[in-house]
Chains A and B, each alone.
Chain A
Amino acid sequence: MRDQVRIQEEDFSQDEEIAALKNSSRRIGGIATFLGCARDFSEGREVSRISFEAYGSMALSEMKNLRLDAIERFGLIDARIVHRIASVSAGDNIVFIAAGAEHRKAAFDACRYMIDELKMRVPIWKKEITPEGDAWVSFHP
């Protein structure tokens, strides 16, 4: 089985991640997911591609800590986080988060918590490639 927390260049399958989460326990009664994908427009400009850079070792460590924090804080049964570090086009997948809990509230709350915290804690940066030039993206809440 693939690790619950990964940084990878290649695309991921939401179905495979959800299936892996479901298979982790028969006590799971609700799974909430977040899928982040690339847009073709940002800050009033067309975006041709988005490239990502990470402080890999720290990013993976922070993502693993984040998963454990969410499990403890919301009483999750399990959770998965996958982030791509690659050059992607509009519509491509970027990040996938899934939270599995006995009931929906914990799953929704934990999923929101993990993506919000990921943006604050995990050292990953995105650069938008536009017809007018390239620009590193500042924080998006």
Chain B
Amino acid sequence: MIDVLFFGPVVERTGMRALKVEHRPGMTLMELRDELAAKFPSAFEIVCLFAVDGQHVRDLTMPLADRSEVTFMARFSGG
């Protein structure tokens, strides 16, 4: 199972802060992104940053391990 997290402006568009997705062997970050973008199209219009287990990830072909924590994020606006 993969734990998916959303924060801030993305939550406003998904209506939820977290969800679980069944892990499939060989599943990539891009596949998960595409799957969720189909489910939450308006949220993924603003998603442009990705993290796996709390680390920035830029390569969407990255395979996901079972029990990963994956976060889809809008541009940051702290500071």
Contacts and interface: CB of A to CB of B under 8 A. Distances in A.
Interface of A: 36, 52-55, 57-59, 61-62, 83, 94-95, 115, 118-127, 136-140
Top 7 nearest A-B pairs (CB, nearest first) are A124-B78, A125-B8, A136-B9, A58-B54, A137-B77, A139-B75, A53-B8
Nearest to A62: B56
Q: Give the secondary structure class of B's interface.
A: mixed
B54 A124 contact: no
Given A55-B5, A95-B78, A136-B12, 5 more contacts: A53-B7, A55-B73, A58-B71, A123-B73, A126-B78
B8 to A, nearest CB: 3
A83 B55 CA distance: 19
